[in-house]
Amino acid sequence: MAGGVVRAPGGMVLLVENQRRNGRIDWSTPGGVVDEGESFVEALTREVREETGLDVAVWTGPLYRVEVTAPDLGFFLEVEAHLALESIGAINVDDPDGIVLSASFFAVSAVVDRLADAARFVSEPLLEHLEQNVSDGRTFSYQIHGSGEDRLVERIGDLPAP
Contact 76, 70 (CB under 8 A): yes
Closest CA to 145 of 50, 69, 82: 69
Q: Is the pLDDT of residue 150 over 80?
A: no
Residue type, 12: M
Look at residue 152 and tell me whether its pLDDT is greater than 90. Answer: no
Q: Which domain holds residue 101?
A: 2-159
The DSSP element (H or E) to which 63 belongs, if any, is strand 55-70
State the CB neighbour count (10 A cutoff) for residue 123: 19
Quote the pLDDT of residue 131. Answer: 95
Does residue 149 come out as left (phi exceeding 0), alpha (psi in the -120 to 50 range) or beta? Answer: alpha
**Percentage of the chain with pLDDT > 70?**
100
CB 83 within 8 A of CB 5: yes
Q: How many domains does the chain have?
A: 1
* Model pLDDT, residue 147: 82
- Tens digit of each residue's pLDDT (9 = 90 or more) over 41-83: 999 999 999 999 999 999 999 999 999 999 998 989 999 999 9
Query: Largest Cα–Cα distance of the chain, in whole Å?
Result: 43
What CATH number is associated with residue 57?
3.90.79.10
